[in-house]
């Protein structure tokens, strides 16, 4: 009798993981487990329905970021959502996150890929971009997804890049080809439809969701166009 071949549980490739980036892209901007759970809870359970949660603590110490990342890893695993760590590849590796998101002034993409080695195949790398040359460079460098913006004026950054507008977003989507583009900067519930029509794979909204009276409902509304629930 022939012996059966054991099943090896191999991780999804970074490319396949990136394809799950769609609709509302959540940012956890504080160490708040209750908020994290709401952001990734399914729409049917009253949650925001985010398939991706990015941890972004801009002024916290390394120990604080690590503690928040461990919490977020537990929350996202329970919800079958992706966890992406902003800026910190070391923290992403320490908590076994699904990906890391890097800005233009952070660790360069090529160096991040080199540091990951064989682990690159299963680690999503997202790159923030603000103009078409940056989009082209990120695509050439092998980024798995892009953040592009600010599409609208934003108050969540002290020194934001110039507003690119919906037309600029649409051009970035074309330039990125098969690479998913997440709209960033000034996205609100009211503007989500414009972002969707421009071809973005997802929309990142921080203040419009995290500061809302009901973050779950706000996140649902941002992601509604991608779920076929656009009404305007």
pLDDT digits (tens, 9 = 90+) for 178-199: 999 999 999 999 999 999 999 9
- Domains of the chain, by residue range, sit at 14-225
Task: Say yes or no to pLDDT of 115 above 70.
Answer: yes
Q: Look-up: residue for tokens 């507008």?
A: 165
| Segment holding 133, helix H or strand E | helix 132-141
Structure tokens at 114: 């080199």
Q: Please tell me the predicted confidence (pLDDT) of residue 19.
A: 87
Query: What's the pLDDT band for 1 if we cut at 50, 70, 90?
Result: very low
Burial zone of 1 (CB within 10 Å; 0-12 exposed, 13-18 middle, 19+ buried): exposed
Q: What is the mean pLDDT of the chain?
A: 92
CB atoms within 10 A of CB 207: 16
Within 13 Å of residue 81, how many CA atoms lie on the same side as its CB? 31
7 — pLDDT class (breaks 50, 70, 90)? very low
Tell me the mean pLDDT in the region 117-132: 96
Contacts of 20 (CB under 8 A, 6+ apart): 51, 52, 82
Retrieve residue 190's tokens.
Answer: 């009211």
User: Do 13 and 5 form a contact (C-beta atoms < 8 A)?
Assistant: no
- The model carries a pTM of 0.91
**Residue 113 confidence class, pLDDT cut points 50, 70, 90:** very high
More confident residue, 231 or 82: 82
Average pLDDT (83-112) is 97
Instruction: Compute the 3-state secondary structure of the chain and give helix, strand, coil in percent, each to the nearest 5.
Output: 45, 15, 40
Q: What are phi and psi of 190, to 5 degrees?
A: -70, -25
CA distance 8 to 4: 12
Residue 47 buriedness (CB in 10 A; 0-12 / 13-18 / 19+): buried
- Note the CATH architecture for domain 14-225: Alpha-Beta Barrel (3.20)
The region that residue 148 occupies, defined by phi over 0 for left and psi between -120 and 50 for alpha, beta otherwise, is beta
């Amino acid at each position: 009798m022939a012996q059966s071949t054991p099943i090896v549980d191999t991780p999804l490739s970074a490319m396949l993981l990136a394809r799950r980036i769609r609709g509302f892209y959540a940012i956890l901007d504080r160490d708040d487990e209750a908020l994290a759970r709401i952001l990734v809870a399914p729409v049917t359970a009253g949650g925001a329905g985010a398939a991706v949660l990015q941890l972004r603590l801009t002024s916290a110490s390394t120990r604080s970021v690590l503690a928040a990342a461990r919490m977020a890893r537990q929350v996202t695993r329970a919800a079958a959502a992706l966890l992406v760590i902003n800026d910190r590849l070391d923290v992403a590796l320490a908590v076994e996150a699904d990906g890391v998101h890097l800005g233009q002034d952070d660790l360069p993409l090529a160096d991040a890929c080199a540091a990951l080695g064989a682990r690159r195949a299963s680690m999503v790398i997202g790159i923030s971009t603000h103009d078409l040359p940056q989009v082209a460079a990120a695509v050439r460098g092998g980024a798995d997804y892009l953040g592009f913006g600010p599409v609208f004026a934003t108050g969540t950054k002290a020194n934001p890049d110039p507003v690119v507008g919906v037309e600029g977003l649409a051009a970035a989507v074309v330039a990125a080809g098969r690479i998913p583009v997440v709209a960033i900067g000034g996205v609100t519930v009211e503007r989500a439809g414009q972002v969707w029509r421009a071809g973005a794979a997802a929309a990142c909204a921080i203040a419009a969701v995290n500061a809302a009276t009901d973050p779950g409902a706000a996140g649902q509304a941002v992601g509604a166009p991608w779920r076929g629930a656009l009404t305007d």
